[in-house]
């Protein structure tokens, strides 16, 4: 959504790097470029004027002139002013102190109110609430049915006493005000602590729309009225928000379609013009593509500083704690990282959502946007298919996968042999890195992180295998005796005395030079 704005601002700040002192001309040129970037992003003109005035006032003050790095100080100022325009601090739903919390959704038709009702219900349910959806949009064709489908997907009940209309040629039946009131009574009877009311919208702002929404609000006295706005409508966002604020009144804003390719100026305009906070943002069509709006994190995204906190929160919500602890123990015990572990980690990542979206939350991601856009997320599914086509033994011991096995795996997963080869090569590198980290050696080849790359060679005359290592005469004699006993048991033959096999009853897997944790695969064999 903010790709164009982010690119323009990043390019503007790049010209300030390395300057030990900023002149008034430098600041004027920077302010001019920021103004153009904001106007191109469809930010309302009054918002742009106030924003630029604040930046110039602070940039020409002492906090920049006395800074060790003036360029970075200007970026800091722009970031702080962006946070202020976007709301300053995170605003969450204010639940009723007693009884049922009533949330009413208003907005134009097509803004995504009905879809958002299901997303909000799912979010509240995940927080331990018991929401009830109430279908008060009796005018848009199949709106009630859409809400019922969304409620079913979210696992939330829907109160819909009237079916609504199925085509635009039918006349609406039922009173949405009565439905809203009946929905609250139903919630009190069934002990639902939150009611979400989905209201009707229009293609444009009109008196009938405003009056119906105002009547519902007067009848149910909601704790929150959320104005749902399409972030792609550009400059119309300001006029629409003002009309709803005057006609109905709302307590918060929800931005939808933030995953679109529009310029996104609505997000920077609505909060400033209406004075009402942006509370939520919808970033996709899935029920999980919905998040609390954090002004500071959104400002960081716009300035290409990343949003690591949101990334961590997504991981905490979707990551299986038991699996994470199991992997941590395995890592601490220096057991081998297997293809089963690799598959498990990939499946955990898939639960977090789109990898592209996650990578775009990393600092500096805008500079790699072209590569990220070319990233094929379906390749993850192919990797899963390749690993699933392997036998359990092949997954824990990939070195046994020869040419014929690779051909069989490729046929079983529907890919080319080259893809199997590439996966095994990448996995081998990952396994080496994990083994190095588990041993406390740090990242291979990285300075300051343990011994990189090549292991140190043993030095001294005792380095050869089979030589006595101790300098203590008594200990050295004991080691020589133990060495002679091992040699006499071996008897010089390949398989021990007489060339036969050793007694398997006395076999101890720990005598073998195997990777840590591998002995469990030798049990009961």
List the one residue out of 90, 78, 45 whose CA is nearest residue 238: 45
Section 303-329 average pLDDT: 64
Radius of gyration of the CA atoms of the chain, in A: 32
| Range among 145-149, 335-339, 344-348, 451-455 rated most confident | 145-149
Tell me the CA distances in angstroms from 78 to 302, 423, 451, one per residue in order: 11, 44, 42
Q: Would you give the DSSP letter of residue 509?
A: G
Distance, in Å, from the CA atom of 74 to the CA atom of 58, rounded to the nearest integer, reads 9
**Going from the N-terminus, what domains does the chain have, and what CATH number goes with each?**
3-85 (1.20.120.140), 101-305 (3.40.50.300), 319-438 (1.10.260.30)
Distance, in Å, from the CA atom of 453 to the CA atom of 61, rounded to the nearest integer, reads 51
DSSP E strand boundaries for 87-209: 101-106, 131-135, 158-159, 194-198
CB atoms within 10 A of CB 468: 14
DSSP string, 336-363: ---HHHHHHHHHHHHHT--HHHHHTTST
Contacts of 441 (CB under 8 A, 6+ apart): 450, 451, 452
Section 230-235 average pLDDT: 75
- Supply the mean pLDDT for the chain: 76
pLDDT tens sequence across 66-92: 655 777 778 888 888 888 888 888 888
Specify the DSSP element, H or E, that contains 279.
strand 278-282
Contact yes or no for 264/5 (Cβ under 8 A)? yes
Task: Quote the pLDDT of residue 156.
Answer: 94
DSSP string, 38-96: HHHTT--HHHHHHHHHHHHHHHTSHHHHT-SSHHHHHHHHHHHHHHHHTTSS-------
| Range among 209-223, 342-356, 361-375 rated most confident | 209-223
Phi, psi of 70 (to 5 degrees): -60, -35
């Amino acid at each position: 959504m903010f790709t164009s704005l982010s690119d323009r601002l990043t390019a503007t700040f790049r010209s300030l790097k390395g300057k030990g002192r900023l002149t008034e001309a430098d600041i004027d040129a920077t302010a001019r470029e920021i103004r153009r970037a904001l106007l191109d992003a469809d930010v309302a003109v009054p918002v742009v004027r106030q924003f630029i005035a604040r930046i110039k006032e602070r940039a020409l003050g002492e906090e920049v002139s006395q800074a060790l790095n003036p360029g970075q100080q200007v970026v800091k100022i722009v970031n702080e002013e962006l946070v202020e325009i976007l709301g300053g601090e995170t605003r969450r739903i204010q639940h009723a102190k007693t009884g049922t919390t009533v949330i009413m959704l208003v907005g134009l038709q097509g803004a995504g109110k009905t879809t958002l009702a299901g997303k909000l219900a799912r979010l509240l349910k995940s927080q331990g609430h018991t929401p009830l959806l109430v279908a008060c949009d009796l005018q848009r064709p199949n709106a009630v049915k859409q809400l019922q489908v969304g409620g079913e997907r979210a696992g939330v009940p829907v109160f819909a006493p009237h079916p609504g209309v199925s085509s635009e040629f039918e006349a609406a039946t039922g009173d949405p005000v009565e439905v809203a009131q009946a929905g609250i009574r139903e919630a009190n009877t069934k002990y639902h602590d939150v009611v979400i009311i989905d209201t009707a919208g229009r293609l444009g702002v009109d008196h009938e729309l405003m009056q119906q929404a105002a009547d519902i609000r007067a009848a149910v006295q909601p704790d929150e009225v959320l104005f749902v706005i399409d972030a792609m409508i550009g400059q119309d966002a300001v006029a629409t928000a003002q009309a709803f604020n005057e006609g109905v009144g709302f307590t918060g804003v929800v931005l939808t379609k933030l995953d679109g390719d529009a310029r996104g100026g609505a997000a920077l305009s609505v909060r400033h013009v209406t004075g009402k906070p942006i509370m939520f943002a919808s970033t996709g069509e899935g029920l999980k593509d919905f998040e609390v709006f954090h002004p500071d994190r959104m400002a960081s995204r716009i300035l290409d500083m990343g949003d690591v906190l949101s990334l961590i929160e997504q991981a905490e919500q979707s990551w299986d704690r038991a699996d994470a602890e199991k992997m941590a123990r395995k890592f601490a015990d220096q057991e081998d990282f297997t293809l089963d572990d690799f598959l498990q980690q990939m499946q955990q990542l898939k639960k977090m959502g789109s990898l592209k979206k996650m990578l775009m939350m990393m600092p500096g991601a805008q500079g790699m946007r072209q590569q990220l856009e070319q990233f094929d997320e379906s390749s993850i599914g192919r990797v899963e298919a390749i690993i699933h086509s392997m036998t359990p033994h092949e997954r824990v011991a990939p070195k046994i996968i020869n040419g014929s096995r690779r051909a069989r795996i490729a046929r079983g997963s529907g890919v080319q042999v080259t893809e199997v080869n590439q996966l095994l090569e990448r996995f081998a590198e990952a396994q080496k890195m994990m083994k190095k980290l588990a041993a406390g050696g740090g990242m291979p080849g990285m300075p300051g992180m343990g011994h990189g790359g090549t292991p140190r060679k043993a030095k001294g005359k005792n380095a050869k295998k089979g030589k006595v290592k101790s300098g203590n005469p008594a200990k050295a004699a004991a080691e020589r005796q133990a060495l002679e006993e091992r040699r006499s048991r071996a008897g010089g033959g390949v398989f021990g005395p007489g060339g036969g096999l050793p007694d398997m009853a006395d076999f101890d897997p720990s005598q073998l030079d195997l990777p840590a944790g591998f002995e469990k695969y030798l049990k009961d064999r």
